[in-house]
Structure 1
Amino acid sequence: MIFAIFAPLLLAFIIPLLSKWKYKVHTGWLILPIPFAIFLYFLQYVGADFQPQMVSVDWIPSLDIALSFHLDGLSLLFALLISGIGTLVVLYSIYYLNHKEQLGHFYTYLYIFMTAMLGVVLSDNVFGLYAFWEFTSISSFLLIGYWHHRERSRYGALKSMLITVFGGFSLLAGIILLSIVTGTTSIQGMVEQSDTIVNSEYFPFILIFLLLGAFTKSAQFPFHIWLPDAMEAPTPVSAYLHSATMVKAGIYLMARFSPILAGEPYVFIALSLFGLVTLTWGSYMAVRQTDLKGILAFSTISQLGMIMAMLGFGTKVALFAAVFHILNHATFKGSLFMIAGIVDHETGSRDIRKLGGLFTFMPISATLAIFGTFSMAGVPLPFLNGFYSKEMFFQASLDNTASGAIAETLVTIIPVLAVVGSIFTFIYSMYLFFNTFTGKSQVEELPKHPHEAPKMMLVPPFILVLGVLVIGLFPTIFNESLITHAADAVYGGEANKEIYFWHGLIPAFYMSIAVVVIGAIMYLTKSKWSGVYQVLPGRLSMNRVYDWMVEKSETASQRITNTYMTGSLRQYMVLLLTAITVIVAGVLIKTSGINFDMAETASITATEVIVTLLIASAAIATIFARNRIAIILIVGVVGYGLAILFVLYRAPDLALTQLIVETVTVTLFMLCFYHLPNLKKDTSSWFTKSTNIIISVAFGLLMMVIGISAYNSRSFDTIAQYFIDNTYKLGGGDNMVNVILVDFRGIDTLFEVAVLFGAALAIIGMIKLRRNKGAN
């Protein structure tokens, strides 16, 4: 299982090498087998007799943090969607992206994202989940901004990054509180302590932080604004991230913690209310759009709101319907995104005002779009999977019971909002299909003459539409082998339910008929009432709020930065040293960390006093010296005096190191002193000089206090004896300092050398740059 999760990430490291052959064979063909193999791996677990699996690898054992992966029904469903649709997206992208594109970048980002999503849905450790969660934000930022030469792509990528990372920080706060309350970092362990969590004084904060994480990731109102702008990404990205995977990460989070949260009044109110508002607003705004992907973006927002609302209901029927609709939505919405990409690819436009009559030119695409749009609309036909979960949603909206004034009021309006949101869902579905593929063609308005897509480009949406039909015709097969297990994991018990097309003349059926009838009438009369958008939202827009907040934060940060980034080296040092002195001294005083106990210190000899006085005199002399060579030599006296102290304290290795460093430093100063600026007479004011003296003395005293207190404080047993006992036995050397640096702290030393190597490269680059400028 671990290899299946990290296989895309491992492949991502060699994709840039494979992309060099893109002119001979498209990079997508070379990497296509990986997601398909992952899909086959997880497919083997599908079945009525499925049993959860758990694997774990230690990560930070001292903090009880491990890379633990738990495969149950819910994570299996998501893993199949991530790998299965990921395979179709890679196949689709082969024909969507030209080999002249930066394919190495695209597929590297895509496969990093694939690993991140698999990690999110399979992680049992909350901190592992968070790590993968943030990787989805980073990789999606790169994918959305793939066409970085476009201003709107950069804008959309940054917006999605800011909003989802804000939610990620909220999620981190929530899981930290959860780990504190439960004493475990395992999600399954937390579920077992659900009563402890709910009764904790931190529960309101836990709930708020988890909701913020879920709402921002799954584009719930009012955080939905990033998703439409993310449509600037290539269509394969939209079909993958924004229909089947990343936008469902927040849904997954709420589903995973549903056994803890379900049944709580505040959870019911928050999820149901925001979910239904998102459903209604998203579907309402979708009808207003003129861009095919814009329509699909707002339709995705509305569908995510519907699923979130069902998770909020918390009943068996609702949770089962939520899981079922996750699968259904991935099939019909993924296919529709691909069809929209095909239309754009073959006509050069996504503007629905310029489209029309494409059924004649693109009959296969249009046929596939029929099944996708009608399933999304919830049309009551037995071969469309969308109707099944939509009717369950209506039934779940009628079955809610709650106590409290707010909850009881919400129970009353839930069915109304469900119907209203579904009516607009029907309208935008019909709008999407009929205005694109029927009516009068406007070939002269299109950049390209429309024609059908290549056969292999039609295979991915065909497979997804086939999923729509197969699930619709044979729902029981999927129910017993997959959906039931996922619903049980969400419910925390047996939530299995039979799936039927016909339940009789029940209220849910009448709601479905009302949606179709009213939706059809409103679609046919759309031109009569579409003026309502001038009133609502009119000039109101959450995007304006976002842009205002970003603009003000940039302005404020610039003003703050300009107050201290003045170019004055002295001011920088004053700020840094003052901050360090105040903060560290405050902490030492607050924690009683000052310890001047001299009981274990060695006696001081006259030689040591003389050398110390010499060092201090040389340091003070640098302030008054007016000759550059004299200053360099006096600074050398300080360094060499310190080396003498190391000799007196019987530390020859440190003394030799200090001598080498000091010699190199003095030599370098002597070599470049000619280029140093001429010394000027100090004309600083009395206040400036006084400030310098106070800060210098305070910082020096602080360092003295820290040194003495650190020596006299023994919070833990010293590690010195361990080195004494094991230097020769484990390190194989007699020189303890060398063995510590090379063996015990070998990685530290390696990275220190790497830093010096990096600095050397930077210096070489600067020298070459200066030479090139001089040559010009």
Structure 2
Amino acid sequence: MFQVLCIFIPLIAALFMPFFFKKVRSIHTGWFVLVVPIFLASYYATFIPITSKGDSVIAQLHWIPSLGISFVSYLDGLSLLFSILITGIGALVVLYSIFYLNRTKEQLHNFYIYLLMFMSAMLGVVQSDNMMTLYLFWELTSISSFLLIGYWFNRDKSRFGALKSMMITVAGGMLMLGGFVLLALMGDTFSIRELIAQAPELAANDLFVLALILILLGAFTKSAQFPFYIWLPDAMEAPTPVSAYLHSATMVKAGIYLVARFTPIFAQSEVWIWLVAGIGLLTLFWGSFFAVKQTDLKGILAFSTVSQLGLIMSLLGVGAIAFHVEGAADSAFKYATFAAIFHLINHATFKGSLFMIAGIVDHETGTRDIRKLGGLMSIMPVSFTVALIGSFSMAGIPPFNGFLSKEMFLTAMLSIAEFDLFNFATWGILFPIIAWIASVFTFIYSLYFVFRTFTGKGNIAQLPHKPHEAPMGMLISPVILAVLVVGIFFIPNIVADLFIKPAVIAIQPFLYTHPEQVDIHISAWHGVNTELLMTLGIFAIGFVLFLTLSKWQKIYNAFPAKLTLNNLYDFIIYELSGNWMYRLSSSYMTGSNRRYLGLMFGAFSLIVIGTLFSKDAFYVTFEGASPVHLHQVILIIVLVIGTITTVFAKSRITSIVALGAVGYTVSLFFVLFKAPDLALTQLVIETISVALFLLAFYHLPKFKKEQERNRFKFGRALVSFAVGAMVTLVALSAHSQKLVPSIAEYYKETVYSLAGGGNIVNVILVDYRGFDTLFEITVLAIAGMAIYGMIKLRLSRKGGKL
């Protein structure tokens, strides 16, 4: 139980943030928040000995058991790794934010409420075994990230970026929900573990590929894969702690987690392999190529994040080939999934530190424009050192952890062409080529980020703020991450045994059952091989292109500004959904209630009548119906005449009298049908209604000339006829096709024996529909008090008494 409750601890802590912010003004609110991720990271660390042996821990809290929906916390190697990243990086981000955000100028309680909400949501995503609760937390990450990105809501770009991220990720989440529903229909369960056990049977279902595509769309939108990456650069308007947390270590990794978690199910299909590997590799190239174009520090990091996420995604796709290759556990494919998890850890360390350094540069110089920066190395030596470590790791240079996972990435890409599977022997040759080219650009933007910012002459005097080294408190978090970048390089196999191998067996349970079976030993030197030659080529060509950057960077100007995905998004959201939809809605949103009612009733009648006849559901029989007598026909004629008179009368007094005649005629029908209580109720209502109309008659304005004649309107007559026909047809069809006995028989049999009453109507109202009647009385009481209040207010203004 406590394991499940830990997911909600950040959310519970968020409730107290306004109190700490308003009542404890002398202490930064972040110090109170810091306790939460530190406690959770420590708690989850206690599970490492369990998951490192290949075991898992499950806890459950029932939510909607009748629908099979529960909060199930499932901690295996994969979910525990993400949980520790979420809480561990979260603790460093909170510590960084304490010194980054001014407690007197910022609404810190809002910031930390959103941050804690996001932390709970991410923990829920990675630990949920139930797909419905996973979706609940998934969308909560979108909502909380929307609030975090738009934290500085007075800035147009912040609001625009927040809206863009939510529109894209929520749309993907809804498609993902469709995939979850299809999976649940196929496997008759919402449990991911149970669906994995049914994977071979699910693959034979006709809905399998559709569910696969829908779930991938959710993953691709959240993890900023091509072409959905466009929200990530605009999300950089968020405060730097948000960027360091959401866009390097957590939110964008949710899509990675989803693909990893569902790989055992969908790797049965070649569609999954091609889409995940292909889109991932395309995203890697696209992000790395356009990162070199950026001039904003966080913009460079945003596109670099896109490229690194593509790298991890492509590795997961290539690793899925192992499900189709005999002896894959002993082949080069074993490196793909291993490298994906390894690089995921490495990326969280070096990218988190780089985002924090970008924030420090902005905080201390007043700008993130790389064209205005330079020469900061001697002024900010600690920041430069951290930036150098993070950038070199991202570039894949030893002795930093990114070099190790990058080498394994190249090994995995080279292994594709070895197998004649799904045409990989033909098209697979493109994978290592594209991977190599993308790695060259990765090398370039890594050097571009650090050297253009910290070396060279610079224009120190022209900066908005006089630069100086950041305070020690702001440097603690990036320094810790930089130490991890270097430390992991020297102790990679300890990290592998504790975190990577348990995660790999969670992703590939059909290949491995125990971490010891993942026979991979990480080392920095494997001799002279193809991967080493590719790496040397990356370094050599990347360095030359970096030195000549000013000569070829102009090629980006050749791309038409209008032919971009951002412009397509703007067209859909603002032109198509905005202007075009506004024009369309203006054509029928005229402000006329009569027009609105006509459209609604007309559409409803068309749908119902069309369904009756298209589905062959209309059937009429008069068996068992009572005969129609002459006096009933006369009453019907009176009813029709009264109704027509009410509509076409040229004076209000005539309409009121005719309307009263209609009501009294209906009460006579109740008498004939032996329902005296209903007849009495109808008589009372009609009498009161007519009296109220007559009382209000004095205050009504006189008819204008154009109102004196109610002209016949064909459209209105058509809608009126359609509504009447619809009600008549439905009533006749329902009466003629009773599938079960009428409930009236039950009332007749039990009204006296069970309810102890003699009047069936009274018993129904008081006993069988007791709550309904109670609520009706409550509504009437509230309305009565409101009327009393308005009358009293009106009299008090006039000086009268009630």
Alignment CA distance shift 1:92-1:613 (3 Å): farther
Per the alignment, residue 412 of structure 2 pairs with 396
Q: For 1:73 and 1:227, how far apart are their aligned partners in 2? A: 28
Per the alignment, residue 449 of structure 1 pairs with 466
- Tell me, what secondary structure is at the counterpart of 1:552? helix
Pairing 1:185–2:190 present: yes
Tell me which of 165, 174, 185 is aligned to 1:169: 174
Residues 350 and 482, structure 2, Cα contact 8 Å, conserved in 1: yes
Residues 724 and 736, structure 1, Cα contact 8 Å, conserved in 2: no
Matching residue's letter, 2:499: L
Q: For 2:305 and 2:781, how far apart are their aligned partners in 1? A: 47
RMSD: 4.0
Alignment CA distance shift 1:64-1:654 (3 Å): farther
Q: For 1:672 and 1:445, how far apart are their aligned partners in 2? A: 76
Tell me which of 579, 583, 597 is aligned to 1:573: 597
Tell me which of 347, 357, 379 is aligned to 1:361: 379
Tell me which of 398, 417, 425 is aligned to 1:380: 398
Matching residue's letter, 2:467: P
Pairing 1:585–2:609 present: yes
Residues 650 and 710, structure 2, Cα contact 8 Å, conserved in 1: no
Q: For 2:126 and 2:679, how far apart are their aligned partners in 1? A: 55
Q: For 1:17 and 1:733, how far apart are their aligned partners in 2? A: 57
- Tell me, what secondary structure is at the counterpart of 1:55? strand
Structure 1 length normalisation: TM-score? 0.87
Report the alpha carbon displacement of residue 276 of structure 1 after superposing the two structures with TM.
Answer: 1.4
Per the alignment, residue 430 of structure 1 pairs with 447
Residues 269 and 312, structure 1, Cα contact 8 Å, conserved in 2: yes
Residues 39 and 84, structure 1, Cα contact 8 Å, conserved in 2: yes
Alignment CA distance shift 1:127-1:355 (3 Å): same
Matches within 5 A, 1:203-602: 203-262=208-267, 264-314=269-319, 315-381=333-399, 384-400=400-416, 401-403=418-420, 407-494=424-511, 497-536=520-559, 540-550=563-573, 551-594=575-618, 596-597=620-621
Matches within 5 A, 1:734-749: 749=775
- Count of residue pairs the alignment pairs up: 763
1:497-542 deviation digits (Å, cap 9, x = unpaired)? 3322322323223322322232222222222322222335776422
Residues 375 and 457, structure 2, Cα contact 8 Å, conserved in 1: yes
Matches within 5 A, 1:12-161: 12-21=14-23, 23-47=25-49, 48-49=52-53, 51-99=55-103, 100-161=105-166
Per the alignment, residue 326 of structure 2 pairs with none
Residues 334 and 464, structure 1, Cα contact 8 Å, conserved in 2: yes
Tell me whether 587-596 or 552-561 shows the greater mean CA deviation.
587-596
1:361-383 deviation digits (Å, cap 9, x = unpaired)? 222222222221111111121xx
Residues 741 and 749, structure 1, Cα contact 8 Å, conserved in 2: no
Alignment CA distance shift 1:33-1:560 (3 Å): same
Matching residue's letter, 2:490: L
Q: For 2:21 and 2:746, how far apart are their aligned partners in 1? A: 51
Matching residue's letter, 1:395: T
Q: For 2:667 and 2:236, how far apart are their aligned partners in 1? A: 64
Report the alpha carbon displacement of residue 632 of structure 1 after superposing the two structures with TM.
Answer: 5.4
Alignment CA distance shift 1:68-1:525 (3 Å): same
Identity among equivalent positions (%) equals 48
Matching residue's letter, 1:101: E
Alignment CA distance shift 1:581-1:152 (3 Å): same
Q: For 1:722 and 1:342, how far apart are their aligned partners in 2? A: 76
Residues 46 and 481, structure 1, Cα contact 8 Å, conserved in 2: yes
Q: For 1:65 and 1:625, how far apart are their aligned partners in 2? A: 59
Structure 2 length normalisation: TM-score? 0.84
1:189-216 deviation digits (Å, cap 9, x = unpaired)? 2222222332222333223222222222
Report the alpha carbon displacement of residue 149 of structure 1 after superposing the two structures with TM.
Answer: 2.0
Alignment CA distance shift 1:676-1:6 (3 Å): farther
Residues 269 and 410, structure 1, Cα contact 8 Å, conserved in 2: no
Matching residue's letter, 1:317: Y
1:241-282 deviation digits (Å, cap 9, x = unpaired)? 111111112111111111123364333322222211211121
Per the alignment, residue 516 of structure 2 pairs with none
Matching residue's letter, 2:582: Q
Q: For 2:494 and 2:597, how far apart are their aligned partners in 1? A: 71
Matching residue's letter, 1:509: L
Tell me whether 156-165 or 426-435 shows the greater mean CA deviation.
156-165
Report the alpha carbon displacement of residue 743 of structure 1 after superposing the two structures with TM.
Answer: 9.3
Alignment CA distance shift 1:430-1:667 (3 Å): farther
- Tell me, what secondary structure is at the counterpart of 2:376? coil
Structure ID, larger Rg: 2
Report the alpha carbon displacement of residue 69 of structure 1 after superposing the two structures with TM.
Answer: 3.4
Tell me whether 110-119 or 301-310 shows the greater mean CA deviation.
110-119
Q: For 1:302 and 1:460, how far apart are their aligned partners in 2? A: 24
Q: For 1:512 and 1:714, how far apart are their aligned partners in 2? A: 77
Residues 60 and 70, structure 2, Cα contact 8 Å, conserved in 1: yes
Alignment CA distance shift 1:405-1:712 (3 Å): closer
Alignment CA distance shift 1:154-1:676 (3 Å): farther
User: Any stretches of 5+ residues in structure 2 without a counterpart?
Assistant: 320-332, 513-518, 798-802
Residues 214 and 249, structure 1, Cα contact 8 Å, conserved in 2: yes
Report the alpha carbon displacement of residue 646 of structure 1 after superposing the two structures with TM.
Answer: 7.2
Q: For 2:669 and 2:240, how far apart are their aligned partners in 1? A: 69
Alignment CA distance shift 1:23-1:636 (3 Å): farther
Report the alpha carbon displacement of residue 40 of structure 1 after superposing the two structures with TM.
Answer: 2.4
Matching residue's letter, 1:335: S
Residues 383 and 475, structure 2, Cα contact 8 Å, conserved in 1: yes
Residues 175 and 206, structure 1, Cα contact 8 Å, conserved in 2: yes
Pairing 1:196–2:196 present: no
1:8-47 deviation digits (Å, cap 9, x = unpaired)? 3333444344443364433333333223332223222112
Matching residue's letter, 2:393: S
